[in-house]
Amino acid sequence: MNKLVKFITNATVQAEDGTYLERRADGELFQLCRQGQYAYVLTSRQMGKSSLMLATAKKLHSEKIKTAIVDLQGIGQDTANIDQWYIGVLVVLTDQLELNLEVE
């Protein structure tokens, strides 16, 4: 029986597609996040940062740990000042973490 092989280029690899390969960084980032430690991932373009982020968030969700993914590029493109930019960040965090807060 032939098995369909799926190749993904220039996009975030989804773990459920069966194409995501776990790396040492996956375990390290997951453990740091689980412990409440600050962690960051720095590397060049197209090296799997977004895939790593999404896979880690999924694992954290499976352990009932709330996560928020904030796309800073999408926030503040239409804002007039820094206060509006920070409000945009707070709105995203409030929504994703399901906080019962009113951001004004």
* Cα–Cα distance for residue pair 18/80, rounded to 1 Å: 43
pLDDT over threshold 80, residue 104? no
Model pLDDT, residue 23: 87
Model pLDDT, residue 40: 85
Model pLDDT, residue 15: 56
Task: Report the share of the chain in percent with pLDDT over 70.
Answer: 82
Query: Do 50 and 90 have their domain in common?
Result: no
Query: Do 60 and 74 have their domain in common?
Result: no
Query: Do 59 and 74 have their domain in common?
Result: no
pLDDT over threshold 80, residue 89? yes
* Cα–Cα distance for residue pair 64/99, rounded to 1 Å: 15
Range of the domain at 4: 1-66
The model's pLDDT over 17-67, given as tens digits with 9 standing for 90+, comes to 666 788 898 999 999 999 999 888 888 888 888 888 899 999 999 999 999
pLDDT over threshold 70, residue 83? yes
What's the pTM value of the predicted model, to 2 decimals? 0.70
